[in-house]
Every structure is written in C-alpha cells, then in structure tokens.
Amino acid sequence: LAAPSAVQALSFSDNAEVSGPVVFAGYGLVVPEAQNFGYDSYQGLDVKDKVVVVFRYFPEDADTQTRATLARYSDLRYKAQAARQRGARALLVITGPRSPNAGEVVPMSFDTALAGSGLVAASASAAVAQALFAAVPARTLAQVQQEFDSGNPHVAGFALPDVTVTVKA
C-alpha cells in the first residue's frame, strides 16, 4: 500500500477508483501518422481495461530531431488521451531514474481545460515504480528506461506479470 505522497492524482484525472492488470507502454507516446514518423508506444500492446504505466517526458538519448518530434507529443494530457483511446482504464505516470526530477511525483498543477481525460490518471513515486517493476525478470527500472531512451520505435512495452493495481483519484 502506497503512502499518500507516493501517488498524486493528475489535474485532468476522472474521479473514480479502478483496478486492473498492469501494462507498461514505455513513454506512452503516439506520433500521428500524418507526421510520417512511425512512433507508437502502444504498437502490439493490449491495454483494454488495463492500468497503463508510462514514463514521464520522452526518450533521453534520442537524436535531436527525434527528441524534437517526440517532445511535441509528450504532454501528459496527450498521453492520457492516447491511453484512453486504446481502452485503458487508468494511466499511471512514473518519472524514470534517468529523467529530470527522477523518481518524483508530478506536482498538481492548474489545468485550464475543464474537461477530464476520460480515465483515472495519477503519478507515482520511485518507490511505487520499483515495486511495480520488481516482477520484471533480471532488469532494473533504470535498465528498462535505458532501452526506451534510444528513441527506437521498435522497443516494445510489455505486461507486468501477475501485477494488479487499484488507482483511486
């Protein structure tokens, strides 16, 4: 059970409680096909009725052009929309150990948009992230993040085996 400071609702979260199996979707980025860029963190993942975990921000080690493109789609509300459109019930954002503000929860901020995101959305601390990824065989959270930090669109997300979470916002 996480301490209250370990999980923080995001400003656009729906008010609800949801439970489900967990799927990790890398940075949770989807670049529209019109951009001719070919980056979809959800490629090959079934997230319907599941809790999606994504890294905050965008790949740290990608080349300048890739970073610039991905940065445009890294807003948390956009990530929530991408998850919801694929049937996710909740989005849990973690700040990876290789990122700025490593391990910190996303601070609650004023959101000028009145509409919710259509799903429960929260941020979780490093301790929560470590607990979630404890089920990933033979890799630390930092190693998992490093694989995604290249910006290679073929690095695939994965289900977290035998992990179910409840998110209440």
The predicted-structure confidence for 40-79, as pLDDT tens digits, reads as follows 999 999 999 999 999 999 998 999 999 999 999 999 999 9
Share of residues in the chain with pLDDT > 70 (%): 92
DSSP H stretches of helix in the chain: 64-71, 76-85, 126-133, 141-149
Return left, alpha or beta for 160; rule: phi > 0 is left, psi -120 to 50 is alpha, else beta: beta
Q: Is 127 helix (H, G, I), strand (E, B) or coil?
A: helix
What pTM, to 2 d.p., does this model score? 0.92
Strand 17-24, strand 120-124: pairing: unpaired
